[in-house]
């Protein structure tokens, strides 16, 4: 019996394949040209309803395999898209209209392609060319300045360093919330987390999307939240980035090879004084801890003939030139039924901060098989290995501040391997370069992203899709510090914090499994009315496990093995999260003029209490094409009005619903375990958060579609936000999890695309976008006055903090300031400084520090935008992109340290006596002269540590700086060899590209490039200074196709 069943099953499989061969497949070729007759290179051709397709080559020709009644979709940036039904012919030539975007098809939620005109919300799509233009190895950086509403901020220019992407502002009050969009690759949500566990805090670790090879991507669609992502459910509450990878094409085999070499350097350095040298109280002392509170260089040289004639600028000198190589190879092809594409890529990079490295190796295989007219399946798998030595830029830059500039910091190691310091003949004082050489954090990621999809269409109107996917990675992280070369040998202090050297090994695994089934039914109810109905179900299971083992006190100073450590401590963590979702979508189109879509989704989340874990939310969107209803003036080609509403629910992190007890740090001790109450007060009655979004917009096309203007207004209100509110330790916890507030983001997005010149030999395209977001914290849990998002240390009480209070926008930076004259005391409670009032000067003649925290700035820009110009003349292409961010402030921790250590250029007035502008307590102008230096002044008074240490460094106001910028983000010059030259060789295409990134920067910020942030968390964008500096890079790329 059993074998009979098996035979039947085999039979079924066999027949499935055999029958599918019987359907007619045929090869189709053709040429795609522009309206001037010029061949269009790289036009994407997709067989609708399948994942397969191809792109045109340099001559504008293509070849693929399709069946009769298939619909081919041709799309090309700036030319919109065109569809053609496959009939009896085997050649389909297509002419596309520059500027035509009317019938453009875009990928929407769940990978469903829809005509752009039918959408009641804003969607933007980037193609492969736009994504690889800047040669960024981190895909997130490739989005910089390309899409309205999308803000990309990088934590710095480190190799592989994480970048953060925020769409339409921050939606969560929770300081630890993930405010980034969901990333979906070929229908599979993939993780983009940035984990710092195991010693990676303030190291330039990667966000996980950086693993993905940008050259594998065909298109990237940005769904900006609300109605666009309602079908994806709660995980896309902050928007979604939907990525489609390149697939193979039927026809000949094609092989593409690309090699890039790049160099990079720090694009902006902080300014430093170059007059005063090591010592304190103005006295030279080569053994002093203080790098520059000593005498002038001339005085020092009089005492010490070894003192150099000029100080080293170690803030420049400490950095080196970075290099990178990327090689990639792709092979694709196929026949009538099956297509495949494989790619291989290898990146090696050394950054500008000494010893920072990053390697990435990626393989990808995509394959599709059209078994029959009704059934097709396909899949892809991507293996990635990535990682490198992630340096500690924070420590490096901090230690550079302490380093005495009379010594070259690059002279860091003795022959015996011990550190050369900056005090006492080099025996004392931390050398930051030695620190990076001996204190490392190396990650090693193995990642697998795989997906399988099946599509079955039993009748013409119905298609059933099933996708199952896996995103799994393991990461082996090793953090170690070298012990002293011999007992008492000079060594970097971080290496000794827990004994003589240490090694920390962390092994972690993340596994996300997604399963999604849906069915789409399409029919014409009448000639005027088309109906599309979609229903589906998805399940998501995410698990994470980690073991961290710390070994302290190494026996052999440079053997970084746990076996070599005297003290071993281990901790582990397991986390599970599961989600289920049931969704439906009803779309109606009436006379191709009015489109209405209604969706509903119910989510069940494991992270919420049982009673509240199920929640439903709807969306509605409407699109009206005015041109179909009334006559438009000649110069107006197209007018679309759109409106939409969505209410998305959101769950929370796992394990936030009760109070727990964990093991105490440092235990077990002598075989005894210790237990302690967890720091977080969980809430057994948590409710899901809600974000309600309304969006209005227009899509306008003028002058025969040569000019396109899109405008969007949105208003998103998030309520019942789940927040771990930081509380007094005396409460028994350090945070309470509460449904604790609401917040609103509203803003406008404008994007303008124009093709001022488009003829056979020369085209000029302009792309401009503008984004303005306004945020307001509407309500915070009663009794909670503010929510602390983050703090950054400053000397003498000048630490800056970012906190949220009702009625104020997200991202206000608080700190101490100079007190202002305030005779009536009426501004005492004012959160803002009254800049109209003079400074209040104390009886000692110095400004007074206002210790009440005031709002000194905001981390969220007033607006940002970019303009990209692209020119092409025959085989030569030139594009350049300017970006700007305006109305944004940042706390510059480096500037605070510079002031405290006498490094800032303005501290050279330390030998002067001045009278501070301002008034004394009684309102009369200050007349007391004061000496700005240390110790005894010319007036015989003792000024102690001096003005900069006693007063200046204690006012946060001095270090919250304007962080606006305008930059030339990218220039790209390319040359493609004419096809005629290559006719008689085996080479199909050949081209050379020269790319420059970050070539010019204009900013009032005094430190490194203000684009760099302290890290990748919420609030980190308000803190800078000791970041991995941003870089200027030049890259040369050679492409050859066979």
Partner 1 sequence: MKHTTPYFLIACFALFFSACGADYLDVNENPNVATRPPLDGLLASASYSTALNQYRISDGHTAYYVQYFASPNEASTTDIYQEISNGGAWSELYDAMTDLYDLIRFGQEDGLDRHVAIAKVLMAMNLGLVVDNWGDAPYSDAFTGETLRPTYDSAEDLYATIFRLLDEAIAELATAEDAPAVRDGSDFVYNGDLDRWTRAAYSLRARYLNHLSETSAYDPAAVLAAVDAGLAGPEEDAAVTSFSTRNPWAQVADNNANLLLGGWLSEQFVDALNGTTYGVADPRLPLLTNRNDAGEFVGTPNGAGRQGDGTKALESYLVTTGALSMENSPLTIITYAELQLIEAEAALATNDQSRANAAFVAGITANMAQIGVDSSAITDYLAAAYGSADVSRDDVFREKYAALFLSPETWVDARRYDYAYKDFTLAENAALNTFPVRIQYPTTETDRNADNVPLVTLTDPIFWDQ
Binding residues for partner 1 restricted to 329-358, rule: CB under 8 A: none
Sole binder of partner 1 in the list 62, 79, 232, 280 (CB under 8 A): 280
Residue 487 in tokens: 């007992």
**Which residues from 840-859 bind partner 1, rule CB under 8 A?**
none
User: Toward partner 1, which CB reaches closer, 574 or 915?
Assistant: 574
**Host H or E run for residue 432:** helix 432-438
Residues 6+ apart with CB under 8 A from 354: 318, 319, 320, 391, 433, 436, 437
* Ramachandran category for residue 2: left, alpha or beta (phi over 0 → left; psi -120 to 50 → alpha): alpha
Residue 163 in tokens: 């970048």
**Which residues from 165-204 bind partner 1, rule CB under 8 A?**
none
* Chain-centroid distance, C-alpha 93: 41
**Which residues from 772-791 bind partner 1, rule CB under 8 A?**
783-785, 788, 791
Sole binder of partner 1 in the list 466, 590, 711, 882 (CB under 8 A): 466
DSSP, collapsed to helix, strand or coil, labels residue 173 as coil
Nearest to 545 by CA among 451, 478, 475: 475
User: Toward partner 1, which CB reaches closer, 309 or 730?
Assistant: 730
Sole binder of partner 1 in the list 244, 439, 801, 893 (CB under 8 A): 801
What character string, x for contact with partner 1 (CB under 8 A) and - otherwise, covers 547-566?
A: -----xx-------------
Residue 51 in tokens: 């994942």
Residues 6+ apart with CB under 8 A from 1023: 790, 792, 800, 890, 891, 893, 1013, 1014
Cβ at position 488, least distance to partner 1 in Å: 6
User: Toward partner 1, which CB reaches closer, 266 or 802?
Assistant: 802
Alpha-carbon gap, residue 97 to 175, rounded angstroms: 48
Cβ at position 573, least distance to partner 1 in Å: 5
How many amino acids of this chain bind partner 1 (CB under 8 A)? 102
Q: What is the phi/psi pair of residue 950, to 5°? A: -80, -40
**Which residues from 894-953 bind partner 1, rule CB under 8 A?**
944-945
Does residue 1004 interact with partner 1 by CB under 8 A? Answer: no
User: Toward partner 1, which CB reaches closer, 291 or 1007?
Assistant: 291
Residue 146 in tokens: 């390309």
- Concatenating the DSSP letter of every residue in 469-510 gives EEEEEEEEEEEEE---SSTT----GGGGTTSS-EEEEEEEEE
Judge contact between 720 and 753, C-beta under 8 A.
no
Select the span of 151-159, 461-469, 883-891, 906-914 touching partner 1 (CB under 8 A).
461-469
Cβ at position 252, least distance to partner 1 in Å: 31
Alpha-carbon gap, residue 838 to 820, rounded angstroms: 6
Sole binder of partner 1 in the list 135, 168, 208, 577 (CB under 8 A): 577
Judge contact between 393 and 441, C-beta under 8 A.
no
**Which residues from 362-391 bind partner 1, rule CB under 8 A?**
372, 374-375
What character string, x for contact with partner 1 (CB under 8 A) and - otherwise, covers 818-837?
A: --------------------
Sole binder of partner 1 in the list 258, 324, 484, 718 (CB under 8 A): 484
Judge contact between 114 and 129, C-beta under 8 A.
no
Select the span of 326-334, 480-488, 833-841, 972-980 touching partner 1 (CB under 8 A).
480-488
Cβ at position 116, least distance to partner 1 in Å: 31
- Site of tokens 């039924």: 337
Judge contact between 997 and 135, C-beta under 8 A.
yes
Sole binder of partner 1 in the list 63, 539, 703, 973 (CB under 8 A): 539
Cβ at position 347, least distance to partner 1 in Å: 35
Cβ at position 608, least distance to partner 1 in Å: 8
Cβ at position 654, least distance to partner 1 in Å: 6
Does residue 487 interact with partner 1 by CB under 8 A? Answer: yes
Does residue 992 interact with partner 1 by CB under 8 A? Answer: no
Cβ at position 564, least distance to partner 1 in Å: 16
Cβ at position 662, least distance to partner 1 in Å: 4
Judge contact between 688 and 739, C-beta under 8 A.
no
CA geometry: angle 727, 733, 739, nearest 5 deg: 60
Sole binder of partner 1 in the list 37, 87, 201, 458 (CB under 8 A): 458
DSSP, collapsed to helix, strand or coil, labels residue 758 as strand
Alpha-carbon gap, residue 849 to 461, rounded angstroms: 73
**Host H or E run for residue 468:** strand 462-481
Does residue 93 interact with partner 1 by CB under 8 A? Answer: no
Residue 79 in tokens: 């030319």
Residues 6+ apart with CB under 8 A from 385: 359, 360, 361, 362, 444, 445, 446, 447
Tell me whether strands 123-127 and 217-223 are parallel, antiparallel or unpaired.
Answer: antiparallel
**Which residues from 607-636 bind partner 1, rule CB under 8 A?**
607-608, 610, 613
Cβ at position 275, least distance to partner 1 in Å: 21
Cβ at position 270, least distance to partner 1 in Å: 24
Cβ at position 1023, least distance to partner 1 in Å: 16
**Which residues from 491-520 bind partner 1, rule CB under 8 A?**
491, 493, 496-500, 515, 517
Residue 908 in tokens: 């050279």
**Which residues from 708-767 bind partner 1, rule CB under 8 A?**
725-734, 736
What character string, x for contact with partner 1 (CB under 8 A) and - otherwise, covers 408-437?
A: ---------------xxx-xx---------
Residue 953 in tokens: 């460094």
Cβ at position 70, least distance to partner 1 in Å: 18
User: Toward partner 1, which CB reaches closer, 515 or 886?
Assistant: 515
What character string, x for contact with partner 1 (CB under 8 A) and - otherwise, covers 648-687?
A: ------xx-xxxxxxxx-xx-xxxxxxxxxx--x------
Does residue 454 interact with partner 1 by CB under 8 A? Answer: yes
């Amino acid at each position: 019996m059993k074998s009979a069943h098996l035979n039947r099953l085999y039979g079924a499989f066999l027949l499935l394949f055999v029958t599918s061969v019987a359907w007619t497949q045929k090869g189709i070729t053709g040429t795609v040209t522009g309206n001037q007759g010029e061949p269009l290179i790289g036009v994407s051709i997709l067989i609708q309803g399948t994942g397969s397709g191809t792109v045109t080559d340099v001559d504008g020709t293509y070849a693929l395999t399709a069946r009769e009644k298939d619909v081919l979709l041709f799309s090309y940036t700036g030319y919109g898209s065109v569809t053609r039904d496959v009939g009896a012919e085997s050649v389909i030539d297509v002419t596309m209209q520059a500027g035509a975007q009317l019938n453009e098809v875009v990928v929407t939620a769940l990978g469903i392609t829809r005509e752009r005109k039918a959408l009641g919300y804003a969607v933007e799509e980037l193609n492969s060319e736009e994504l690889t233009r800047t040669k960024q190895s981190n895909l997130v950086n490739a989005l910089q300045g390309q899409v309205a509403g999308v803000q990309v901020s990088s934590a710095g220019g480190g190799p592989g360093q994480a970048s953060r992407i925020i769409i339409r502002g921050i939606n969560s009050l929770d300081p630890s919330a993930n405010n980034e969009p969901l990333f979906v690759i070929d229908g599979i949500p993939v993780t983009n987390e940035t984990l710092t566990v195991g010693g990676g805090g303030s190291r330039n670790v990667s966000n996980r999307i950086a693993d993905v090879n940008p050259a594998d991507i065909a298109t990237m669609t940005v769904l900006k939240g609300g109605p666009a992502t309602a079908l994806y459910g709660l995980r896309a509450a902050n928007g979604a980035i939907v990525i489609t990878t390149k697939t193979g094409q039927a026809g000949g085999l094609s092989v593409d090879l690309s090699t890039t070499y790049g160099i990079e350097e720090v694009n902006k350095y902080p300014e430093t004084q170059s007059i005063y040298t090591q010592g304190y109280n103005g006295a030279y002392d080569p053994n002093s801890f203080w790098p520059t509170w000593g005498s002038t260089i001339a005085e020092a040289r009089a005492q010490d003939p070894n003192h150099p004639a000029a100080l080293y600028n170690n803030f420049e000198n400490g950095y080196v030139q970075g290099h990178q190589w990327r090689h990639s190879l792709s092979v694709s092809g196929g026949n009538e039924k099956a297509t495949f594409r494989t790619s291989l890529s290898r990146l090696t990079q050394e950054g500008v901060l000494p010893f920072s490295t990053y390697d990435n190796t990626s393989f990808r295989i995509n394959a599709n098989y059209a078994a029959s007219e009704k059934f097709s399946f396909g899949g892809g798998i991507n293996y990635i290995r990535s990682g490198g030595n992630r340096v500690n830029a924070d420590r490096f830059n901090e230690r550079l501040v302490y380093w005495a500039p009379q010594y070259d910091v690059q002279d860091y190691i003795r022959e015996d391997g011990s550190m050369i310091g900056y005090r006492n003949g080099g025996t004392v004082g931390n050398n930051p370069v030695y620190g990076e050489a001996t204190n490392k954090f190396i990650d090693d990621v193995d990642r697998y992203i795989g997906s399988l999809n099946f599509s079955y269409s039993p009748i013409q109107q119905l298609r059933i899709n099933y996708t199952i996917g896996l995103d799994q990675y393991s990461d082996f992280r090793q953090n170690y510090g070298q012990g002293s070369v011999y007992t008492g040998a000079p060594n970097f202090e971080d290496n000794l914090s827990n004994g003589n050297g240490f090694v920390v090994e962390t092994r972690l695994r993340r596994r996300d499994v997604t399963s999604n089934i849906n069915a789409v039914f399409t029919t014409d109810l009448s000639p005027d009315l088309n109906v599309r109905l979609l229903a589906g179900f998805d399940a998501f299971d995410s698990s994470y496990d980690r073991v961290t083992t710390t070994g302290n006190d190494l026996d052999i100073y440079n053997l970084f093995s746990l076996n070599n450590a005297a003290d071993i401590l281990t901790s582990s963590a397991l986390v599970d999260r599961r989600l289920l979702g049931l969704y439906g979508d009803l779309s109606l189109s009436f006379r191709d003029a009015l489109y209405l879509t209604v969706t509903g989704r119910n989510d069940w989340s494991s992270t919420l209490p049982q009673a509240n874990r199920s929640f439903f939310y709807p969306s509605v969107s409407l699109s009206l094409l005015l041109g179909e209803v009334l006559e438009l003036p000649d110069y107006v080609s197209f007018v679309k009005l759109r409106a939409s509403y969505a209410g998305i629910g959101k769950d929370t992190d796992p394990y936030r619903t009760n109070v727990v007890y964990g093991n105490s740090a440092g235990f077990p001790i002598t075989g005894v375990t210790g237990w302690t109450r967890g720091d977080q007060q969980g809430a057994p009655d948590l409710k899901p958060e809600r974000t309600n979004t309304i969006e209005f917009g227009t899509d306008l096309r003028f002058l025969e579609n040569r000019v396109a203007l899109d405008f969007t207004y949105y208003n998103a209100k998030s309520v019942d936000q789940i927040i771990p509110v930081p509380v007094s330790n005396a409460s028994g916890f350090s945070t309470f999890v509460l449904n604790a507030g609401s917040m609103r983001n509203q803003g406008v997005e404008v994007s303008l695309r124009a093709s001022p010149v488009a003829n056979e030999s020369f085209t000029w395209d302009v792309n401009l976008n503008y984004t303005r977001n306004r945020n307001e914290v509407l309500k915070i849990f009663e009794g909670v006055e503010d929510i602390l998002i983050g703090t950054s240390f400053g000397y003498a009480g000048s630490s800056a903090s970012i906190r949220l209070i009702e009625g104020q926008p997200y991202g206000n930076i608080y700190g101490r300031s100079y007190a202002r004259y305030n005779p009536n005391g009426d501004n005492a409670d004012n959160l803002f400084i009254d800049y109209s009032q003079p400074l209040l000067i104390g009886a000692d003649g110095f400004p007074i520090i206002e210790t009440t925290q005031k709002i000194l700035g905001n981390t969220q820009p007033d607006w940002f935008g970019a303009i990209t110009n692209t020119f092409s003349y025959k085989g030569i292409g030139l594009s350049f992109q300017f970006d700007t961010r305006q109305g944004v402030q940042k706390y510059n921790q480096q500037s605070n340290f510079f002031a405290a250590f006498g490094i800032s250029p303005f501290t050279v007035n330390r030998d002067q006596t001045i009278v501070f502008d301002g008034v004394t307590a009684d309102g009369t102008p200050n007349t007391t002269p004061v000496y700005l230096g240390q110790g005894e002044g010319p007036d015989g008074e003792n000024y102690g540590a001096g003005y900069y240490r006693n007063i200046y460094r204690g006012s946060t106001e001095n270090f919250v700086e304007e962080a606006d910028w305008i930059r030339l983000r990218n220039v790209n010059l390319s040359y493609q060899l004419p096809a005629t030259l290559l006719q008689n060789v085996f080479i199909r295409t050949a081209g050379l590209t020269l790319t420059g990134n970050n070539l010019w920067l204009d900013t009032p910020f005094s430190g490194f490039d203000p684009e760099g942030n302290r890290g990748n968390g919420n609030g980190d964008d308000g803190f800078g200074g000791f970041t991995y500096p941003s870089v200027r890079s030049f890259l040369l790329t050679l492409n050859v196709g066979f």
